[in-house]
Structure 1
């Protein structure tokens, strides 16, 4: 991060801080000239521009930012963009691109996360204009709520022919099983998102409505958190409305949605899993709301209720914020091939035993043809004129639709809404257009057309971030409204989008996110609401105890193992890198004969011999040792490498993101950047490998310290620490087996033992205790039997025993505890002097002990996997941070 003293967005000593708009009039002329210089090359063109009016003047609501932007200049803007990008990485904000869309080769074999792109220039919307837009959004939410209740209720709009029946029954979002399911809370539509943009006339228009399981609230909150810290002075000048009231209202609304008679509801966010596209959004929102993030495997229906598996027991769940599409929510009543739903969930909803929001079947409101009928629906259901228009939409079975179809298709998006097939007219040839017209003529009632609109442009830094050039980029906005007893509350701003250029931008495809700032006005309240019924008071909920589902316990356990595995390999590779530099071209140097055994140990411990082959320091089949060590660091596709273990660690951590502190992502972000630097330095001479290994070790140690000092000692932490102890012991056993057990000549053994102790982080302790030559017996005594050494095996077994016995009774495993007790007894019975017993060049007693320890620790891991982590029956989560069953 940039230090405060060098940060261009902070006031230095003696620097004047503009605290409001009072200086605007006095500095108007100077500000205008300076701003023109800053915006050199800013050419908005014929489209509506959010920054400049038609005469080129700065729009008034941008004035609070204009002065600060001018002070920063081009260099300062580039520095701010770099700062924002680093903060996004440190907060771990990601988007899991679908396969083939932006996946990184280094992102690991089981996920394709891309870094969230956030424009460092916020979008300003005039306060009065926003209030008008918010009122229109509230009306739109009320209208969609009324439509949803009618579609699954009396269907008056169909009987009175306000909308044709195919609008409802032909759309895949219509769930017949949802008919008769009571609406949770006072509204049928709980959360409503609207994608909109400003048209050439200067008015906002809705492009699409998101009612299935709207995403983006978490991203909007995270974006605001980043820009608040990255632009503190600019934030003070602009004084945008806070987003916190919306999060608070959302939580209260979830509580209000609980089934009748439930005063202290348990709320969960039902997620498709850690690899769903918006996994960060789901986890961050759950963290902000203070509720549990769950997957289908964490839930079960029993005794007339929905329960969450926790600590060997079952905790009743009352409210589910659904992020799984309706059709996948219940494999019993809906899609039988779903692995994302809970068997029996629909039946519970029908009985009113659990509240699921958004309710099942709400996706029918996403039918694009519905926009053509909204004005009539608003008049029929609300007795009002529609305030927020949609981009022009036509049902092609109507006279206006047929007239549009007869004309040019270049500016149309044509959608067959039963199959969600979309065709952009501008991409069709003349023959293709005629073939499409023929298809539509055969079934016009199933097609709609939407005119493509060039949305407004706003100043942005994402096009040329490194030089701080302000360019006009297309702007879109996703707004959010949440239901409550007193109406709907609208987020003050929303999730801004930097639209890509051209036709894709007209389809609202974005290249980056943008924070949206609405300045505080004198009459601003916590939200825009429609008051109908005063909310009923609720007692303060009691403090909840720890909730640890089998999935969460498994991910935390493997998080500990991957962290320890990555750290052990980093240490071993660093030692191998140093010894290779010392001995590779100096075979006469004392200890040079230890290089090949050490390289053999690297291959054996990493288990990469079968994939990457052996490491040969010399001879006819000599290996590029430096290149192989680099591959053992960055090759994410090969199990046993640093990158493979690290990305598995990241995946497991993301799977329990809602339980981790924000500092976690600062630490992992540093390691990720270190890895990326090594990947980029393809022709480096080895210096970058040294730097990367050092940076990785620092990050992994910080991660370990964060877990030790910042995490609550709950069952999840105990499982994570147990995983660490098991993995550290297994790594120690493997390294000892391949460096200490074989007998070698004195010179080779001394050098090899020294490398062994360095890799085990115990060389300084050994030298302080033993001033003479390094001996195998003394090294083994330190690493296996010294209870004061936190790196010794006996210390790990003691901690592992403590972790297992401190678990709640529901999670304790008798077989695992017995194995640990047996292993401890074997170690205590072993005579360190037996280390010197050699048979056929092999320290046989020591080898037998190591084999027994390795087998026993693997048995402990397997027992926990089978009995404490596995979902019941054959159920398996589709998206999991770790891979169920077997070695990972």
Structure 2
């Protein structure tokens, strides 16, 4: 423990640095805090423990409400983890930063020159400066890219380096990120959250701002574009919501004002790359790639990839699209290159490495292999590439048991060129705050660079990850690390420009955001799932409240046509949770229906359950996360909490279940209302409303279809009409409109034909027709007399011409509502056809086949 008097700060009285390594906080061998930490700890100490906890809670709440997550692969508890942020930053002195910055620029330049050479003249290989097998045995070397002329000769447009200190305080580069470097968006979000929750920390500090770095990112995206276009069309290519850093993909898309797309949103046609949008095809000029190399083009690379774009390499080869970073840049992440970097730097006359790498031995050389095997207990072993996501990227041999160690040695001996041995160092310790105390953790720092003209711009900050002091080797988000804001202190901080500042005169930062077809489809289904949650919740609540009144749920063989049984059957059909109450053989099920209702509510494996529908809503919501405001995120997190396992397990009675349904339905309307008030009226919200109206139509049809199959006794019919009107929120409207007792033909008039009733079929179809007409017509969409328009018009005319008296007549001995059921069945299939036609016209972009010859010329 450090001496309190020497430290000056009582908040550090329990801080115990690891004496076996370098401490970022203090002078080595002394108790004094390094001077550039003074101002921070003065501010930190001015806060009471209660204030610190409250502010930390607010900071983490802000991150959660902003949707900041990190996806954990193969996590049984759920993919998305809330982002962790320590209120104590990692502070780097400005003088040292000048050296770090120069070293990073030098490193990025060298790596770019390596890529330019190995995909070009290959002098490094011919002169044996880099062993050929180190390149050709690596899957990151894409032979198909040899013939692609990269604009400006820049393979490495964006670069990130992981750095850490060893025991002597030396800063080492421990990893290069060259394929699709991630983390810059998280770094920006960290800064925003910390500065908002703890403004006093920044009051007396000269902390370099990081926002202007993204101007350099955008400027690089707009440089060296095909055919010198002034306003290039740029997209962010993501693998989708399952990617571990999908939050950042959506975040950068929003922040930079460019379109987020997946592979299925793009297509190749006529040597060009096109984005499929609601308005048709839109040509793409630049791709900011966040998709791994080998998945980018299933036609030339991995044929099993469903994430890329067939023919993408052909378009790049034709010079009609620029991919940043260039496909094939993952070869530069090869740790086997590290031992050869000093010779590469000398070859390109770059001088000595300013920032060295950890001592590394490539096992493809006989002498180095022998050294690694003889000293393996004291080394870290790395493969030159990861074979799969579940395989460890770093192996601490000292942690292996006998058989595991023997297997590793055998693997190295069989294929030595696939492995490197690396010096094992204890990463420096850094103060971390948790459980109201400051303790020592381990730190790894990632910095970010963007290519600019003939050099690179470095973000004056970055992303620091801190881990438990017991974990000396692996500090990652996947392994549970906590992030830190990173401060660069300097008295000469330049003015930072906001992201929307015009960084060049030849192009505009603002450009219309196209709506990709895949995103439009997600919004369409989000609208449907939103209404499904509302309608299913209302019907569940109606049935549950009906059952709680006067012991109506008691089963009686003589009253098999009671309202109770009809409503329970309808509940199964309405929610598609078959077989449920449809099979009437099990009398016990009807004597006590609550267990089945519980399953309909909260069984995650039950198709059609309320919880499974919420999971569909949640997944779709997260897939278009770039659309949501902070207020909408708050509503979403409240909804998510309602369906958490802890909340569900705490339910003890039926009333509590009803309260959850009430809360969910209210939250869904809050979600809709916030969209109405805060969202721009773009195509996305129109297609969202189209989905809503279609689902509302299905709901009205299903309510009538499953509750009114044939005539019942007057008392049962009265209860059914009342329940349907309650579920549809139309009971008061009925009383106000008709001022009469409940009759089926009047109910049908209100729910089918009343254009003043926003929940009637007539009103919904009129709105649907209006929304569809406002959508753009493209080459895949027929003109105004299209089948889609005809289907909607047919549905509207059916409702207009429907005679509610005729529909409400019962026919035959069984007194079946044949006319009503026939009408509803036709409407149901029309709505299915309308939904399918919308999908074909706007989401699938199916090319209509054209006949090559006139039929009258064929004999």
**Quick check: TM above 0.5?**
yes
Correspondence 1:456 to 2:463: no
Superposed, 1:138-149 pairs within 5 Å as: 138-149=105-116
- Please tell me whether the aligned partners of residues 53 and 59 of structure 1 are also in contact (alpha carbons under 8 angstroms): yes
Closer, same or farther: CA 228–537 of 1 in aligned 2, 3 Å? closer
Correspondence 1:518 to 2:493: no
Superposed, 1:662-811 pairs within 5 Å as: 662-676=630-644, 679-682=647-650, 684-810=652-778
SS in 2 for 1:789: coil
Closer, same or farther: CA 628–31 of 1 in aligned 2, 3 Å? farther
Separation in 1, partners of 2:64, 2:598: 24
Separation in 2, partners of 1:848, 1:190: 63
Match of 1:86 in 2: 61
Query: For 1:247-300, what per-residue CA distance to the aligned partner results, in whole angstroms no more than 9, with x for missing partners?
Result: 111011100131242221111111122222222221211111111111222222
Match of 1:377 in 2: 344
Q: Which of 585, 594, 597 does residue 566 from structure 2 map onto?
A: 597
TM-score w.r.t. length of structure 2: 0.88
Question: Which stretches in structure 1 are left out of the alignment for 5+ residues?
Answer: 1-27, 105-111, 529-534, 875-888
Q: Which of 2, 5, 8 does residue 32 from structure 1 map onto?
A: 8
- Please tell me whether the aligned partners of residues 125 and 516 of structure 1 are also in contact (alpha carbons under 8 angstroms): no
Match of 1:555 in 2: 522
Match of 1:634 in 2: 602
Report the alpha carbon displacement of residue 548 of structure 1 after superposing the two structures with TM: 2.5
Q: What root-mean-square deviation, in Å, do the aligned CA atoms of Structure 1 and Structure 2 show?
A: 3.2
Greater CA deviation, 762-771 or 444-453?
762-771
Aligned residues: 823
Match of 2:302 in 1: 335
Superposed, 1:535-574 pairs within 5 Å as: 537-541=504-508, 544-574=511-541
Report the alpha carbon displacement of residue 339 of structure 1 after superposing the two structures with TM: 2.4
Report the alpha carbon displacement of residue 594 of structure 1 after superposing the two structures with TM: 4.0
Match of 2:183 in 1: 216
Separation in 1, partners of 2:59, 2:601: 28
Match of 1:152 in 2: 119
- Please tell me whether the aligned partners of residues 349 and 355 of structure 1 are also in contact (alpha carbons under 8 angstroms): yes
SS in 2 for 1:791: coil
- Please tell me whether the aligned partners of residues 76 and 468 of structure 1 are also in contact (alpha carbons under 8 angstroms): no
Match of 1:48 in 2: 22
Question: Which stretches in structure 2 are left out of the alignment for 5+ residues?
Answer: 556-560, 849-859
Match of 1:109 in 2: none
Match of 1:843 in 2: 817
Separation in 1, partners of 2:278, 2:266: 13
Correspondence 1:483 to 2:483: no
Report the alpha carbon displacement of residue 134 of structure 1 after superposing the two structures with TM: 2.0
Report the alpha carbon displacement of residue 30 of structure 1 after superposing the two structures with TM: 12
Match of 2:853 in 1: none
Report the alpha carbon displacement of residue 824 of structure 1 after superposing the two structures with TM: 1.0
SS in 1 for 2:231: coil
Closer, same or farther: CA 121–536 of 1 in aligned 2, 3 Å? closer
SS in 2 for 1:256: coil
- Please tell me whether the aligned partners of residues 95 and 278 of structure 1 are also in contact (alpha carbons under 8 angstroms): yes
- Please tell me whether the aligned partners of residues 671 and 699 of structure 1 are also in contact (alpha carbons under 8 angstroms): yes
Q: Which of 135, 142, 145 does residue 178 from structure 1 map onto?
A: 145
SS in 2 for 1:482: strand
Match of 1:107 in 2: none
Correspondence 1:497 to 2:473: no
- Please tell me whether the aligned partners of residues 721 and 742 of structure 2 are also in contact (alpha carbons under 8 angstroms): yes
Match of 2:805 in 1: 833
Query: For 1:711-748, what per-residue CA distance to the aligned partner results, in whole angstroms no more than 9, with x for missing partners?
Result: 33333322221111010110121112223454333333
- Please tell me whether the aligned partners of residues 311 and 549 of structure 1 are also in contact (alpha carbons under 8 angstroms): yes
Match of 2:857 in 1: none
Query: For 1:776-827, what per-residue CA distance to the aligned partner results, in whole angstroms no more than 9, with x for missing partners?
Result: 3333322222211211111100100101111122275521211111111111
- Please tell me whether the aligned partners of residues 127 and 518 of structure 1 are also in contact (alpha carbons under 8 angstroms): no
Query: For 1:663-688, what per-residue CA distance to the aligned partner results, in whole angstroms no more than 9, with x for missing partners?
Result: 43222122111211664534523454
Closer, same or farther: CA 517–210 of 1 in aligned 2, 3 Å? closer
- Please tell me whether the aligned partners of residues 777 and 832 of structure 1 are also in contact (alpha carbons under 8 angstroms): yes
Separation in 2, partners of 1:873, 1:47: 64
Query: For 1:535-554, what per-residue CA distance to the aligned partner results, in whole angstroms no more than 9, with x for missing partners?
Result: 99542438534523322221
Separation in 2, partners of 1:625, 1:71: 60
Closer, same or farther: CA 492–571 of 1 in aligned 2, 3 Å? farther
Superposed, 1:609-648 pairs within 5 Å as: 609-610=578-579, 620-622=588-590, 625-648=593-616
